[in-house]
Amino acid sequence: MDGKKLAAEAIGTFWLTFGGCGSAVIAAGIPQVGIGMLGVALAFGLTLLTMAYAIGHVSGCHLNPAVTVGLTFGRRFPPSLVFPYVVAQVVGAIVGATVLYAIASGSPDFNLAGGFAANGYGDHSPGKYGLGACVLTEVVLTMMFLFVIMGATHGKAPTGFAPIAIGLALTLVHLFSIRVTNTSVNPARSTGPALFVGGWALAQLWLFWVAPLIGGAAGGLIYRWLSPEPAGEVTG
């Protein structure tokens, strides 16, 4: 296993968690000049787009256990590398959340009770959406996110534009679901903030592993059926 691939995944997931969650924690709620939900959605999309260009040629730029699993089900990624990739992604997300906490806690107005960009359902959903709606949202959006990734990186797709399509897809996912679950579609991104919030965030973290992994696997399988290509043509 090439350690540089794992380092790239850790660095990329750090950037996604730090930049995306950081935009929500630090910049979203400021009166008059806050970036709001649109800004947070764009921030997540931009973290992925920029890292796709930076490390896509190194590791494939998964930055997300659901993407790694989805690409494996789509026969784009070797099963033997799933576990080390997921570990690297989770480590990167935890480091990202740690650095974000160190910065955010420098403000006297900071309070973990504000959620620290953690994902939740029921009383901890931004829009108070119930468990069933949150499960469906995470499964469907992760499935479609994988569908876009599989299509944008297909051997017959236009070259050079995949990061743009994938980054915009993640932006759209956030525009839809911030009010529902605070948007996960990424178990690693969910784990980092949950470790700091503790309590309810850790108790509800299971959903933000189970639903995205199911959705990712479904997206990989469906796209593989729709538009097959030689196994191994695209790997991490």
Q: What is the pLDDT of residues 126-150, one digit of tens each?
A: 999 999 999 999 999 999 999 999 9
* DSSP-derived secondary structure for 74-131: TTSS-GGGHHHHHHHHHHHHHHHHHHHHHHHTTSTT--GGG-TT----GGGSTT---H
Q: What is the pLDDT of residues 19-38, one digit of tens each?
A: 999 999 998 866 666 788 99
Q: What is the pLDDT of residues 159-210, one digit of tens each?
A: 789 999 999 999 999 999 999 999 999 999 999 999 999 999 999 999 999 9
Average pLDDT over every residue of 43-54? 97
CB 74 within 8 A of CB 146: yes
CATH number for the domain whose boundaries are 3-226: 1.20.1080.10
**Residue 32: per-residue pLDDT:** 60
Average pLDDT over every residue of 50-77? 96
